[in-house]
Amino acid sequence: MNPKNYVSSSDEVLRYKIHKNDVNDLGYQNFVNPIVQSVLSDFDASNIGLDFGSGTGPVITKLLRDKGYKMTTYDPFFDNNLSALKTTYNFIVCCEVIEHFHNPLKEFKLLKSLLKPSGKLYCMTDLYKETMNFEKWYYKNDETHVFFYHTNTFEWIKKELDFKKVTVFDRLIVFEN
């Protein structure tokens, strides 16, 4: 999106408050399950994670903490825990966050800098595909979605930021440090 069309920060916060990210909502827990299951299969509870862009209800954090994982949360609007950005993590989760990045390269550089060697960055977003009708694509209608991704975008990020690997599983994207 052209930056001149970005909504104000206060309107952005109002939009995020409409999201129903209730930590006890089974529907939302199922929605984030691909990230949770990937973390559970890739890391044991001795590893430390960051929920980057945790929002009003850090559902992934709750589910992983319930399994004994040590999680830190950060959200620029709802949990501006700047100390969370001064350490490194074995894994970082970014669920429905990267499409809100006003400066994606800067944000991905930050995320990479927060990953330990052999760490993983798990992202979830809806991907743009050439076969879809952009005018009818529901995802573009959220005025806070300012950047859309294609599988080629993730390959570019991998190469540009020197990630070892990127894997795209439908809406789940996993970068390996």
Residue closest to 1 by CA, chosen among 148, 156, 149? 148
The two structure tokens encoding residue 61: 């954090």
Residue 19: the pLDDT is 64
From first to last of the 177 residues of the chain, give the pLDDT tens digit: 778 877 777 766 666 666 667 777 777 788 899 999 999 999 999 999 999 999 888 999 999 999 999 999 999 988 899 999 999 999 999 999 999 899 999 999 999 999 999 999 999 999 999 999 989 998 988 888 889 999 999 999 999 999 999 999 999 999 999
Give the count of domains, the chain. Answer: 1
Q: Which residues pair with 52 in a beta bridge?
A: 74
Residue 86 belongs to domain spanning: 3-176
- Nearest-10 Cα torsion for 84, 63, 175, 155: -110
Residue 42: the pLDDT is 98
Q: Does the predicted model carry a pTM greater than 0.95?
A: no
Residue 30: the pLDDT is 84
Residue 140: the pLDDT is 84
Q: Which residues pair with 124 in a beta bridge?
A: 95, 172
Find the CATH number of the domain harbouring 18.
Answer: 3.40.50.150
